[in-house]
Structure 1
Amino acid sequence: MAVYTHVSAEALGDFLARYDVGELVSAKGIAEGVENSNYLVDTTAGRFILTLYERRVAAGDLPYFMALLDHLAAKGLAVPPAIKDRAGVAIQTLAGRPACLIAFLPGVSVSHPTVAQAHAAGEALAQMHVALGDFAGDRANTMGHAHWRPLLDRCGDGIDSIAPGLFIRVAAALDDVLAAWPSDLATSAIHADLFPDNVLMLGDRVTGLIDFYFACTDIRAYDLAITHSSWAFDASGAPIDPAVGQALLDGYESVLPLTEAERAAMPVLAQGACIRFLLSRAYDWVNTPADALVTRKDPLAYLRRLDWYEAHPKAFTR
């Protein structure tokens, strides 16, 4: 989450008048993340999240995201659907951007997950995959493996300003991963970005899965690999207690066991996840506007993860 587009109190008040959500009390920009502009909005009736969609989120994709959230909410999963105004409209326009008012969920995201919290997150991811088994929507993964080489080319030698030789290092890893990328594993709608900051928790209980704006149709086990690559390492990319990563896998498999083919593919899927986030972070690192209220994320944290997965090819074996 971030703030690229600033909204005046007057404009926000007029926006909220379309809804039955009370009157504006306060609004505060949320700085974390890099994709959209987000505000925490308090009204006389409660608390909400206002999201203005920018950069990688195309307006044409918003109906897919809203349908997916409605589907999961109808299945009883803790997700934040968009609130409809009095006319039944969920997707609005504010300050020249597509915008949605979104239900606020209780809980906090953890920065140092425990074994119990990782197990709960794995369960929640698997429950989401099960619930999406009959979801009819389809969206290509615009950050999927077919897009990584073009993204590396757009970064160009400029990413060597982040670390000398980074372009060549990533290009070599990308060659290996693409050559081994599986084509016969189960696919479904996936979250594709289930970092700890996109999981809300109260104690060891998951109270919300949020930020579905990379959701797409792709390999289901790849979603687990993405989640492992974020939960099993600290913010710098150093591996944490091995029991945490294992608990995530165990939690997932307590609901939805991996097939032998999925387990065999996990190392290359995890390396691919590292390349995907390394590249998107590197692109953002060199292209984020200087005046944006946003915290840039370290691309090298995913290079360190990539190094670890390459050095531990049996990390997912039992």
Structure 2
Amino acid sequence: MAVYTEVTDEALRTFLADYALGELLAFRGIAEGVENSNYALKTEAGDFILTLYEKRVDPAELPYFLGLMDHMAQRGLACPTPVHAKDGQALRMLAGRPAAIVTFLPGVWPRKVRPDHCAPLGRALGQMHAAGEGFAIQRRNALGPSGWRPLLDRCRSRGDEVQPGLIAELDAALAGILSAWPADGALPRGHIHADLFPDNVFFLPGEDGKPRVSGLIDFYFACTDLHAYDIAICLNAWCFEADYSFNVTKARALLSAYDAVRPIAMEERAALPVLARGAALRFLLTRLYDWTHTPAGALVTRKDPLEYLRKLRFFAQAGSASALGL
């Protein structure tokens, strides 16, 4: 469910009058996603996505997200491009919510990740990091290391209901990760996606029949952080099988393709195991928070936090980047 705010035909037509997109031809809600209300929009000018930003999104951060997409699209990255209204603004109000229109990207996301998805993904991630260079606005990663202990504390009272002893294990894991985390300035930083899971990457068949990336979407967790941390998130999201075994073939394809676009520095390679542990802990904690705080009957579907406990344990015993495919 991803339509929390309904938009009437009259309100939409009034909204579209501020754009040079021609007449409205079709309009429907999109079921996927959990953060915002999304609509597929078809006008005489083509296909678009209309997003209404719900209460979990800070309106003050929207210029960063929209500006970053604009910047990256102008530099050739296949990502949604914000559509500017006749007054030049990309962000407006609709049905009492901040709203924006972005271009529609063709393609489908992979329900089952294969090794031949991982090399195109690695190239696209490297291209994204390169395309972000020169974008001046910064955004702190609210879900980075400084946010993990407060998040764990908010789960402390009910965390062991998910699995006995879970909180003690996470306390120990967090202490180890923070003690080994790279110091400020030790690794290259820039604009990262921070949530590049398979459902945020579209593919189409290439001329050789193999998958090629047709677009990267959903930049609403993007922030300024370590490039290698973004790689570590992708290792978590793309390189495990259904039984939670790590597929080093997928990881090697992802990392080699990324390295060909943006070479992975030696210090980044050395830090990759702890960055992967941190990425696993980050998604474990946000899932654990949702699991312990989402009321029965809520629209948001809870995801199993223990999936990331298994990944965290794997990365904890990975002694070096070579175990991860480098």
2:171 alignment partner in structure 1: 171
- Which residue among 250, 266, 273 is the counterpart of 1:267? 273
2:90 and 2:222 map into 1 onto residues whose CA distance is 18
Which stretch has the larger CA shift, 31-40 or 258-267? 31-40
Could you report, residue by residue, the CA deviation over 1:76-105 in whole angstroms, capped at 9, with x for unpaired residues? 111112111222221111222211111110
Q: How far has the Cα of 1:110 moved from its partner?
A: 0.8
Q: How far has the Cα of 1:247 moved from its partner?
A: 0.7
Distance 1:146 1:205, change over 3 A: same
Q: Classify the secondary structure of the residue corresponding to 1:133.
A: coil
Which stretch has the larger CA shift, 127-136 or 37-46? 37-46
* Higher RCO (C-alpha 8 Å, min separation 6): 1
Which stretch has the larger CA shift, 278-287 or 145-154? 278-287
- Which residue among 262, 284, 308 is the counterpart of 1:302? 308
Q: Classify the secondary structure of the residue corresponding to 2:157.
A: helix
Could you report, residue by residue, the CA deviation over 1:97-149 in whole angstroms, capped at 9, with x for unpaired residues? 21111111011111222222210110111111122222222111111110010
1:286 and 1:174 map into 2 onto residues whose CA distance is 19
1:122 alignment partner in structure 2: 122
Q: Classify the secondary structure of the residue corresponding to 1:188.
A: strand
1:300 and 1:12 map into 2 onto residues whose CA distance is 42
Could you report, residue by residue, the CA deviation over 1:171-195 in whole angstroms, capped at 9, with x for unpaired residues? 2211110111001111111111111
2:227 alignment partner in structure 1: 220
1:138 and 1:65 map into 2 onto residues whose CA distance is 10
1:107 and 1:158 map into 2 onto residues whose CA distance is 40
Between Structure 1 and Structure 2, how many residues are aligned?
Answer: 317
Partner amino acid, structure 2, of 1:228: L
2:296 and 2:22 map into 1 onto residues whose CA distance is 35
**Mapping of 1:157-196 within 5 angstroms?**
157-183=157-183, 184-196=186-198
1:81 and 1:71 map into 2 onto residues whose CA distance is 9
1:289 and 1:14 map into 2 onto residues whose CA distance is 36
Normalising by structure 2, report the TM-score: 0.90
Distance 1:30 1:182, change over 3 A: same
Q: How far has the Cα of 1:273 moved from its partner?
A: 0.3
Are the equivalent residues in 1 in contact too, given 2:189–2:226 (CA < 8 A)?
A: yes
Distance 1:26 1:288, change over 3 A: farther
Distance 1:180 1:241, change over 3 A: closer
- What is the RMSD of the two structures over their aligned residues, measured on CA atoms? 2.1
Which stretch has the larger CA shift, 43-52 or 72-81? 43-52
Are the equivalent residues in 1 in contact too, given 2:78–2:214 (CA < 8 A)?
A: yes
Are the equivalent residues in 1 in contact too, given 2:251–2:324 (CA < 8 A)?
A: no
2:107 and 2:96 map into 1 onto residues whose CA distance is 31
2:254 alignment partner in structure 1: 248
Q: How far has the Cα of 1:48 moved from its partner?
A: 1.6
Distance 1:81 1:114, change over 3 A: same
- Give runs of ≥4 in structure 1 deviating > 6 Å: none
Are the equivalent residues in 2 in contact too, given 1:52–1:94 (CA < 8 A)?
A: yes
Q: How far has the Cα of 1:15 moved from its partner?
A: 2.3
1:282 aligns with 2:288: yes
1:233 alignment partner in structure 2: 240
Are the equivalent residues in 1 in contact too, given 2:255–2:325 (CA < 8 A)?
A: no
